[in-house]
Structure formats: structure tokens, C-alpha cells
Amino acid sequence: MKTALTLLTLFLMASLAPTSSAADAAKTETAIIGGGCFWCVEAQYLLVKGVKNVVSGYAGGKTENPTYEDVCTGETGHAEVIKVEFDPTVVTYKEIIDLFWDAHDPTSVTKEDGEHHGKFMPKGTAFQGNDYGSQYRSAIYYTTEEQHKIAEASKIEVQKKWKDPIATEIAPLKKFYPAEDYHQNFKALHPNQGYVRAVVDPKTEKFKHKLEEKGKIKPEAK
């Protein structure tokens, strides 16, 4: 009898294991967004409660397997983006997108022709802070029609808060390419790097306050 009960217990444990793994996997969803340098946006979203992982990468272009150097030329068509992996029972896709507007300036395109960093930039060139070029454009790449509807509705709603038109590209994701290893978790691994201290840290700190106001910050990030 004892042997029979032991075997039954082992059978039940084995049969439940795959179900548990499937349930855990089902809790993870992804969002692909770009708001300028991916070092900044990556650091910001790592603070969001419910976010499990963030991967910096490239999307929205035509070149296959682009390198960082390729993307920096502006000729591949890619934007620097992040892939946010999150638990939808803790933070929803809508909340991920609503926070996106706080993470950067979605209206930022040059208002007139001019010289920047020794290079001519025609009107309409995407930029974030001191980073100029199409690779730094504001973008949301959706993977389902539901994500598309949520992104468009969020954009319409947030436009009421901005004087200038929102320039964010909202388009279907063709393919996401992870960036080189040295770009991943850049702020945490290079806290004293010049760009991190001058640009990433201030943007992350500002976003952190927004998260605290909205109750969306990870407890360990407070």
C-alpha cells in the first residue's frame, strides 16, 4: 500500500511539473520600444515592477544581422530599441506603453535645418538629447493587432499633453536583432562611463520618480 501511494505521489508530481512550467511561460509577454539611446531606455525599464528582463537591440530596418557600426551610419533603417519581457499579471502592455511617453520626448525632431556635432541635420531629423540620427527615433513595434490598438490609443491620449505633434513610429515588428553583448545592461556594468553619468543617470533618475508616483517601481529599486 505504501509503495502504491509513493508511486501515485511521484506520478502526480511529474504530471504537474509541465503544467507549472507552461503557466510560468504564459506569464511572460514582450514589448519592443525605442526612445533614443538604448542604454537609457534599458536602464529605465529595468526599474519597472513586473519587468523580468530587458534586451537592447535593433529593429525597423532592412539590413539583416546589423552591427552597431552598421546602425550608426543611419543607412540600415534600424532604430535602437529594447525588448521588454514582462509579467502581464503585474504590469500590462498598456502600462508599458503609457510609461514609454514618460521615458523620453516623443516629439523630438529638429525644428529647423542646422549644424549639430559638425554635421548638417535637415529639418525632421530624429534626435534624443545630443543623439542625432534616424537610429535614435521614437518607435513602437507591435507583434499583435491588440498591441497595435493599444499603442495607437495611448498615443492619441498622450498627444493632449504635448504641444508639438508626437513623432513616434508605430509599425509591425519585422525582426528584432539583439545588440552586441557589450551593450547589454550597460549602465549597471559601466557606472562611471562619461555618457552614463552625463545622460543615462539623469534620465533614469527622472523616470524613477515617475514610477514612484505611479506605484510602478520595483521595491528593490526604491
Q: What are the tens digits of pLDDT across the range 177-192?
A: 999 999 999 999 999 9
69 by Cβ neighbours in 10 Å (0-12 / 13-18 / 19+) ranks as: exposed
Beta-carbon contacts of residue 185 (< 8 Å; ≥ 6 apart): 42, 46
Check pLDDT > 60 for residue 25: no
Separation of alpha carbons 18 and 129, rounded Å: 48
Yes or no: is domain 27-221 CATH 1.10.3720.10? no
The whole-number pLDDT of residue 26 equals 63
Of 37, 55, 126, 150, the catalytic one is: 37
Strand extents, DSSP E, 51-176: 51-59, 79-86, 114-116, 119-121, 127-128, 131-132, 138-142, 169-172
Which 8-state DSSP code applies to residue 109? B
pLDDT digits 0-9 by tens, 85-142: 999 999 999 999 999 999 999 999 877 888 877 888 888 899 998 899 999 999 999 9
**CA–CA gap between residue 46 and residue 79 (Å, rounded):** 20
List, in sequence order, every residue forming a beta bridge with 142; answer none if it has no partner. 172
How confident is the model over 145-201, as pLDDT tens digits? 999 999 999 999 999 999 999 999 999 999 999 999 999 999 999 999 999 999 999
The 10s digit of each residue's pLDDT in 46-71 is 999 999 999 999 999 999 999 999 99
- Residue 6 pLDDT greater than 60, yes or no: no
Q: Which residues contact 138 (CB under 8 A, 6 or more apart)?
A: 34, 35, 36, 104, 105, 106, 108, 126, 128, 166, 167, 168, 169
* pLDDT bucket at 78, cuts 50 / 70 / 90: very high
Instruction: Look up residue 220 and give its DSSP letter.
Output: G
Average per-residue pLDDT for the chain: 90
Q: Is 40 annotated in the active site?
A: no
